[in-house]
Amino acid sequence: MATSQAAPARRARRLLPRPRRGEKRGLSRWSLGRILAVTGAIVAALLVIASIIGVTTLLVLSERRVELVDRLDPALLAAQQLDAATVDQETGVRGYALAPNPEFLAPYERGRADEARLIAELRRLGAAQADLLGDVAAVEAATTRWRAVYADPVLAAVAAGTPTPSPDVGKVAFDQVRGALEAQRNRLFAQRDDARDNLDGAAALLTTVGVVTLVGLGLGIAGLLLWLRRVVVAPTHRLAREVREVADGDLEHSVGAAGPREITELGEDVEAMRVLIVRELADTEQARQELDSRSRELARSNSDLEQFAYVASHDLQEPLRKVASFCQLLQRRYQGQLDERADQYIEFATDGAKRMQVLINDLLAFSRVGRQGEPRRPVDLGELVDRAAENVGRALEDAEGRVEHGDLPTVLGEPALLTTVFQNLLGNSVKFRGEDPPVLRVDAEHDPDDPERWLIRFRDNGIGIDAEYAERIFVIFQRLHAKDAYPGTGIGLAMCRKIVEHHEGAMWLEPSEGPGTVFVVALPVLPPTSTDIDPEVVP
């Protein structure tokens, strides 16, 4: 189904002037997939750039934090502890010199052990900076010189019991130690302050970069969205607006589209469909004009046919009656006076004239069905069946037949025409009876497939009709038997079907397993409000 619907659009698109490969400009050469891919790539690039800037700033911040927290702060703490360790040594030596008690040497020994550990720690922390290593070397040299000029001689003199060196010598040497330690602390404090300032600057830089990156990323995404709106959404809205103008009835409005390739091709398809619709409407208008012309010709033809029917009913029947009358006069006056062949010829002429009169009358009745009649009104089909039975009462009595019917519905119709249908069916049951007296049964039921119509069945016990002739019997002038076997013109069932179809119904022969024939007449169910219709008002 989709292929059959798309074929006219493809044919119409071939009728439109198609742009050559080099004629498409700008976005018309871009597909929606390409536009979305480019947009995604730009967004990804922006995210990557923002990530690189953020990672770089975080690395700088981390380096500043490591410099401050992991190197300078521990080095400053170690320098302060080293100062305490040297003080413990100096205190221990002076106390031991005043009172040679071995317990007074405990601070000195502990201070020397701490000094060795702290100097090693300071060398490790200041391995990357020569000035810090120089400060450590200066402290180590000062403490070594203090021990050489004062501490070691004091310990040796106390051990030998000789006089100790003057405390002034130790003071001068230890002042040099304090000076070296002070220089080391001042350098570490200065470096710590610089590192703290660098850390604060890195944090501020990270904040600034983050804000700028977020703002730039937001502006970039907003710009991309605006670009997508201009190159995708706006052309789509423009195409939809032009399509609505065409849908509102302005079929002469040409549909154009600009933008991605899919939207451009969609606009071309819509334009092709519009061209196709315009052409089909033009063809339809031409066909309608031709139909109007033929309708006028048909109306003139019907008028001619009505005129012909008038002529046939008056002008043609008058000479035909004259021929039949004189043939009958010849038959009455000269019967037996001429030879047998002349009597036979006169009989043939008389019979032909009579059958011609019957044929013309039947044909006129058939042609007038639906054009002349009484207004439709609700009619009881049971009453019409009884009336039809009265009309064929003489034939029923002669054949010793009977008509039976159950509860029949009320329908909207012309009583005379429906009576003609029933009378034809009753007459056929009497005419085409079998050896037993004819019995016709009429019943009605709702159509199981269509509850809006009645099915009226006429069932008899006659000779029946083969299923292969189920449609032939409804063709005008079609007979299944010779006219010598059964009289008639072969127009009755054709007239019955035409009358039933005039009442918006249907009529057919229903196959039956047993003997006889079953005709079905389908008529619409009477509308609920039709029982109150005035018969004089129904058209």
CA separation, residue 335 to residues 24, 184, 330, 331, 353 (Å) = 102, 170, 7, 5, 18
The rounded distance, in Å, linking the Cα atoms of 311 and 321 is 14
Q: What is the largest CA-CA distance in the chain?
A: 207
Predicted pLDDT at 38? 77
Predicted pLDDT at 496? 84
Predicted pLDDT at 368? 58
The rounded distance, in Å, linking the Cα atoms of 353 and 346 is 11
Predicted pLDDT at 358? 61
CB 126 within 8 A of CB 100: no
The rounded distance, in Å, linking the Cα atoms of 61 and 228 is 38
Superfamily classification of domain 372-532: Histidine kinase-like ATPase, C-terminal domain (3.30.565.10)
CB 154 within 8 A of CB 97: yes
Q: How many CA atoms lie within 13 A of 293 on its CB side?
A: 6
> CA angle, corner 532, sides to 531 and 533, nearest 5?
95
Predicted pLDDT at 63? 78
Q: How many CA atoms lie within 13 A of 525 on its CB side?
A: 11
6-29 pLDDT, tens digit each: 444 444 444 444 444 334 455 556
Q: Where are the domains of the chain?
A: 51-201, 372-532
CA separation, residue 533 to residues 7, 377, 410, 416, 523 (Å) = 52, 7, 13, 18, 18
Sequential DSSP letters for 130-154:
HHHHHHHHHHHHHHHHHIIIIIHHH
C-alpha of 404 from chain center: 59
Predicted pLDDT at 532? 44
Please state, as a whole number, how many other Cβ atoms lie within 10 Å of the Cβ of residue 73: 16
CB 378 within 8 A of CB 412: yes
Torsion angles phi and psi, residue 527, rounded to 5? -60, 150
**Of residues 305, 235, 251, 273, the one with CA closest to residue 30:** 235
The rounded distance, in Å, linking the Cα atoms of 130 and 148 is 26
Radius of gyration for the alpha carbons in the chain, expressed in angstroms and rounded: 63
Side chain identity, residue 257:
A
Q: Is the pTM of this model over 0.85?
A: no
CB 347 within 8 A of CB 331: yes
Q: Mean pLDDT, consecutive 10-residue segments, the chain of 539 residues?
A: 45 45 52 74 81 81 76 81 84 80 81 85 79 83 86 81 78 84 84 80 80 81 80 78 79 73 76 83 87 84 66 65 74 72 73 64 59 74 87 81 86 85 82 79 87 86 72 65 53 80 84 80 78 41
371-419 pLDDT, tens digit each: 555 677 888 888 888 888 888 888 878 788 888 888 888 888 888 888 8
